[in-house]
Amino acid sequence: MSELKIGLVGTGAIGRTHIERINNKLAGAKVIACADVNADFCKKVADQYGIAAYATGEEMIEKAGVDAVIVTTSDAYHEQYVMAAIQAGKYVFCEKPLAPSAEACKRIVEAELAAGKQLVQVGFMRRYDPGYRQLKEAIQTRKYGEPLLLHCAHRNASVTEPWDNASAVENSMVHEIDVLRWLLGEDYATAEVRYGKSTRKAKEGLHDPQIMILTTKSGVRIDVESFVCNGQCYDIRCEVVCEDAILNLPKPATIEVLADTVRGNAVDADWTTRFVEAYNVEFQEWINATKAGRVDGPSAWDGYACQVAAAAASKARETQTIQPVTYDEMPALYKK
């Protein structure tokens, strides 16, 4: 296959950045068609890139002659379009979360099992960040002994509405739930979410910051701070305390600024700049693997496992208790 022909459904904020990177930056693929419920906006995006616009994702999958599909709609519609792609036998990249509930993710897993091959990749892009990749390599060698504790932070200057007490886990810390499971190479055993003193910058009723505490099956203990109204910056941290060393997620290189009697480094305003390289690597690797007829990245099973842990963390938050994380047995299709 010379060039992978892609159809994208959901021409919102992230959908447009993916069209831009695939058509104007990466190699080996082109988005040739798009669809969105907002027909006017979809047409504008299609005209901007000289691609075809369709009224529905299903019509695009059926008629546009695409080899693969990208789903970047709002979360509630991921399942519908991922299922349509699987039924058409097409590889599909779905932004995170694979679906809003573990049950919906399980239905996708079952559809893939029925198809008899992996077709789905989930957009957990942190796995492609060079810093997280270095951290994983360092942990895997066991040169520094066993990892024992992880201290992580996920901080935003502000968040866009709608945002409520559930969003810290379900929208934000789902990234940690996936990337830390991948870093450590093991599943979770328990989840807990605690509220502390809230910032005056949070709207009424919003608990911010929140702390999520996870334990893995081997007993590694993880704390993640979610502080989404910090008013300052986007800041992602991950410190891995091992038996023989402390390993820290490297910060991306940014320019040094000398101003106002301070020497310092510029900080990221949000995820679009912090993880731009991760998105580029994620999509280039997905294009290459899809053309070779493989799924190398986060699987539908990973999407399911993430939602199982997120559901446990959400229940833990609502009840202010520690909740077990209980997964179904992993099917052979996903064992590497």
Is 271 near ligand NAI (CB under 6 A)?
yes
Residues 113 and 309: their CA atoms lie apart, in Å, by 22
* Nearer Cβ to ligand NAI (49/189): 49
Looking at beta carbons only, is 18 or 207 nearer to ligand NAI?
Answer: 18
Stretch that binds ligand NAI, among 13-21, 106-114, 240-248, 314-322 (CB under 6 A): 13-21
Q: Which residues, 6+ apart, have CB-to-CB distance to 94 below 8 Å?
A: 70, 71, 78, 81, 82, 120, 121, 122, 123, 303
- Judge whether 91 and 118 are in contact, CB under 8 Å: no
Among 19, 36, 156, 311, binds ligand NAI (CB under 6 A): 36
- Contact window for ligand NAI (CB under 6 A) among 70-78, 143-151, 221-229, 257-265: 70-78
Which region among 4-12, 148-156, 306-314, 325-333 touches ligand NAI (by CB under 6 A)?
A: 4-12
- Is residue 95 at the binding interface for ligand NAI, with CB under 6 A as the rule? yes
Q: CA 153 → CA 36, 167, 173, 242, distances in Å?
A: 34, 15, 9, 18
Residue 77 binds ligand NAI, judged by CB under 6 A: yes
Q: Does 268 bind ligand NAI (CB under 6 A)?
A: no
Residue 37 as a binder of ligand NAI (CB under 6 A): the answer is yes
Q: Is the dihedral of CA 281, 286, 289, 295 positive or negative?
A: positive
DSSP helix/strand/coil, 212: strand
- Specify the residue, 182 or 247, whose C-beta has the smaller distance to ligand NAI: 182
Is residue 81 classed as helix, strand or coil in its secondary structure?
helix
Q: Is 75 in the site for ligand NAI (CB under 6 A)?
A: yes
Binding mask 130-169 for ligand NAI (x = CB under 6 A): ----------------------------------------
Of the pair 93, 301, the CB lying nearest ligand NAI is at: 93
| Paired strand residues for 17 | none
Residue 116: count other Cβ atoms within 10 Å of its Cβ: 8
- Helices 130-141 and 174-184: angle between axes, nearest 10 degrees: 40
Q: Are 119 and 93 in contact (CB under 8 A)?
A: no
List the one residue from 26, 125, 247, 306 that touches ligand NAI (CB under 6 A). 125
Residue 143 is classified by DSSP as T
Applying CB under 6 A, does 72 fall inside the site for ligand NAI? yes
Judged by the rule CB under 6 A, the positions of this chain that interact with ligand NAI are 9-15, 36-38, 57, 72-75, 77, 95-96, 123, 125, 271
